[in-house]
A and B are shown apart, each in its own frame.
Chain A
Amino acid sequence: MIEVQSISKTFKVFQRDAGMMSAFRALFHRKYTLVHALNGLSFTIQEGEIVGLIGPNGAGKSTTVKVLSGILVPDGGTCVINGRVPWKERKAHVKEIGVVFGQRSQLWWDVPIIDSFTLLKDIYRIPETEYQKNLAELTETLDLADILKTPARQLSLGQRMRCEIAASLLHDPKILFLDEPTIGLDVVSKRSVRDFIKKRNEEKGTTIILTTHDTLDLEALTERILLIGKGRILLDGRLEDLKQQYAEGSNLEDVVVRLYEEYHL
């Protein structure tokens, strides 16, 4: 279970005017503004749920994922995941979670994918038999058989993303965070990623927290939606209810647009 209670996180953002003079002045005195990325955010997620985090760019979705995965330490508030505070018991916590950042890569660029996987096996201390079992399963469901021996740099984005997802699941985590997992993928790849996530949740009961800008992702995967804006939870509801409330038709994109408008995002 994930319990988040009024967490906040502030970043310093440095700023200066254009031009030589101000660049010079900034050598001695830097101006910055404080950006409240998270501003008293609270929610609870039960085991086995699939939850979609939505909100415009800069709303605090990625920051939320980073706090929950123990990467960032919030300035205030509490967060308990399966009985642990992520940033206090980092090692024990991260053993039980998997994270996919759609815009970053965890695979070694120049070596075959399988070498990256072996490294992860050793880092997570996965027993050999369990590793072989998980690997075989992931290879089949994500269709990786032909690409395991290829270096990451020679894969297409869709192929690479399937490998990234597999890499995050080798240690069979209880919770999976997906930060824009379908970004930049073609329609077919998107669909296969979605199918896989759905199946993982249904068959293994993995809790899934997903951030996305793609309404089709939401439609295919999530039942519950958290709308984040200005560092707060603005809305926490069932996808079905939202659809009925905000749009007569079934176009989810319209619903999201209307939501953003209503909350002045």
Chain B
Amino acid sequence: MRPFFSMLKIRFINSMQYRAAAWAGVMTQFFWGFMELLLYLTLSRENPAAFTMTLPQLTSYLWLRQAFFAMFLLWSVDNDILDMIMNGDVAYEVIRPVSLYSLWFARNLGSRTSKVALRCVPILLVSLLLPKPYGLSLPPDVYSAVGFFISMILGVVLLIGMCMWIYIMTFYFITARGIQNIVGTFADFLSGSLIPIPFMPIGVQRVLNILPFASTQSTPYLIYSGYLSGTAALQAIGLQLLWIVLIVGSGILAMRKALLRVTVQGG
């Protein structure tokens, strides 16, 4: 585990320097949060019947999403890794006595946590201080809080597992921009970050709830607000675990295979 944590640390230190970007991120996230808030408030006034969540559940969902935005942005992959694959510096990564999968996993976790660490505190603080029902409410009970915590960790692991697949594909396609664009657009919709999944037609909800994307951020946020509780919450966490086994497991195998046929670009 020492190489893993050390990589996590250096990636964290490396991105902590981008303070201006972090402040700009905070501003953007607030802006988006308020825009979405206005939008859904209008909807709740015009057509309360269409409102499938309670207003505090929804506002909590929106603010959590803004606070942890950088953590779950699937297409925002570690560009250093893509560059390494594209220009051949990956050679230096392959001569290390550790598994490349765990090394890059740690690297991703490091860059994502550092982005979130700088951004989430002001957003969480301000949204907690906003008057009800506009702000972030506390979880209804201790089970929701614990469930959220566990589900959040699983969601992050799953998301990075997906992200690793983008790198694996880059070994075959040389450039990742196409994959990033396609995956990014679909993932935004499928993970419920564009529209929360409870607002979608019932049939669509059924499909989205099974797909892995909902297991990344939608599940923990819905558990937090108590929208998912009891058996439903446990089932959702079980599904997260299943997807982690499938996606991380297949990723480890595929990475091993990709390395056997690796070509080092640029001589």
Residues of A within 8 A of B (CB): 11, 62, 66, 69-73, 87, 90-92, 94-95, 97, 99, 101, 103-106, 108, 110-111, 115-116, 118-119, 121-125
Contact = CB atoms under 8 A, between A and B. Distances in A.
Contact of B262 (A72, A97, A111): A72
B98 A115 contact: no
Contacts of A94: 95-97
Interface in B1-58: 2-3, 5-7, 9-10, 13-14, 17
B125 interface: no
Contacts of A121: 6
Contacts of A90: 94
Nearest to B261: A73
A66 B264 contact: yes
B14 A108 contact: yes
A90 B103 CA distance: 15
Interface stretch (B85-93, B156-164, B176-184, B225-233): B85-93
Contacts of B95: 69-71, 94, 97, 99
B260 interface: yes
Contacts of A99: 91-92, 95
B267 interface: yes
Contacts of B10: 108, 111, 115-116, 118-119
B263 interface: yes
A121 B7 CA distance: 11
Contact of B97 (A11, A73, A111, A124): A124
Given A104-B91, A123-B7, 8 more contacts: A66-B91, A72-B262, A73-B260, A73-B261, A101-B91, A119-B6, A123-B96, A125-B97
Contacts of A92: 97
A242 to B, nearest CB: 26
Contacts of A118: 6, 10
B92 A91 contact: no
A121 to B, nearest CB: 8
A121 B97 CA distance: 11
Given A71-B95, A97-B95, A111 B13 contact: yes
29 contacts: A66-B264, A69-B95, A71-B95, A71-B262, A72-B264, A73-B260, A87-B260, A90-B94, A91-B97, A94-B96, A97-B95, A99-B91, A101-B92, A103-B266, A103-B267, A104-B88, A105-B89, A111-B14, A118-B10, A119-B7, A119-B10, A122-B2, A122-B3, A122-B5, A122-B6, A123-B7, A123-B96, A123-B103, A125-B3
Contacts of A101: 91-92
A123 B6 contact: yes
Contacts of A69: 95
A123 B13 contact: no
B70 to A, nearest CB: 18
B97 A95 contact: yes
A90 B91 CA distance: 13
A103 B103 CA distance: 23
A33 B248 CA distance: 36
Contacts of B2: 122, 125
Contacts of A116: 10
Nearest to A106: B92
B257 to A, nearest CB: 11
Given A62-B267, A125-B2, A91 B94 contact: no
Contacts of B5: 122
A82 to B, nearest CB: 14
A94 to B, nearest CB: 5
A90 B5 CA distance: 22
Interface in B75-109: 88-89, 91-92, 94-99, 103
Given A122-B2, A123-B3, A123-B97, A115 B13 contact: yes
The 9 closest A-B pairs by CB, nearest first: A122-B6, A106-B92, A95-B97, A123-B3, A91-B97, A122-B2, A94-B95, A71-B94, A119-B10
A119 B7 CA distance: 6
Nearest to A118: B6
Contact of B94 (A70, A111, A123): A70
Contacts of B96: 94, 123-124
A234 B140 CA distance: 77
Contacts of B91: 66, 71, 99, 101, 104
